[in-house]
Amino acid sequence: MLRRLGAWSIGALVCPFTDFFSRYGVKALWILVFIAVFRISDLAMASMANPLYIDLGFSLAEIANVTNIFGIAMSITGGILGGLLVARYGIGPLLIFGAGLVMITNLLFALLALVGSQLPMLVITIIGDNLANGLASAVFIAFLSSLTSRAYTATQYALFSSLMTLPGKFLSGFGGLVVTAQGYPSFFVIATLLGVPAIVLAIWISRDKELVPPPSLLEQA
């Protein structure tokens, strides 16, 4: 029984790691860092979005209506657009574009905090945020899928996905403290700046043909 458990643990947990590092070597460490920071600016500020809406004076009905009507639609639209753009231009350029778009749209929340309870600005903020998240998520899914090997696809993808959300969600727990000390506008600007490392690493990765397949190979796949 113990021998079977040990063999299963090695096959299910150890081998996916060794396979990944054997294929990418030292680059694997930087890839993991990139995965960890790609969505960090967006995830770090997410916990303070609803408190911002409420503190500005928007009603729960207004928040729900705008989120359900525009948020969901823009998330789907962003996902479809991201998939189409990846097929046309490849993963590399879209990683840079997606990381930049997620970072920049966080500034909409800072602007909303400055202008106050303006319903049109709330709509613009939610549209921009969800469109950027949908597009970036589609691009990143394509990138993560390209990193996995056929032998360990499920395990490696699950590990990558967990790593992607962990740092941002950890930092989001401190959002209330930052807002109390600095205010909403400063908080969202700080969250935006957290996305700079993702753009830098995206530029590096996009230039490495070993890490990002060209559009022709994506079409064949």
pLDDT in tens, 106-143: 999 999 999 988 999 999 999 999 999 999 999 999 89
Do 98 and 139 meet the contact criterion of CB atoms below 8 Å apart?
yes
Q: What percent of the chain has pLDDT over 90?
A: 49
In this prediction, residue 87 has a pLDDT band, given cuts at 50, 70 and 90, of: confident
Find the mean pLDDT for residues 78-101: 91
| Structure tokens, 64 | 């729900």
Residue 116 DSSP one-character state: -
The residue with greater pLDDT, 200 or 162, is: 200
**Which DSSP string corresponds to 132-201?**
HHHHHHHHHHHHHHHHS-GGGHHHHHHHHHHHHHHHHHHHHTTHHHHHHHH-HHHHHHHHHHTTHHHHHH
Does the pTM surpass 0.75? The reply is yes
Q: What is the pLDDT of residue 136?
A: 93
In this prediction, residue 169 has a pLDDT band, given cuts at 50, 70 and 90, of: confident
Q: What is the pLDDT of residue 10?
A: 54
Q: What is the pLDDT of residue 11?
A: 53
Q: Which CATH class is domain 2-220?
A: mainly alpha
In this prediction, residue 165 has a pLDDT band, given cuts at 50, 70 and 90, of: confident
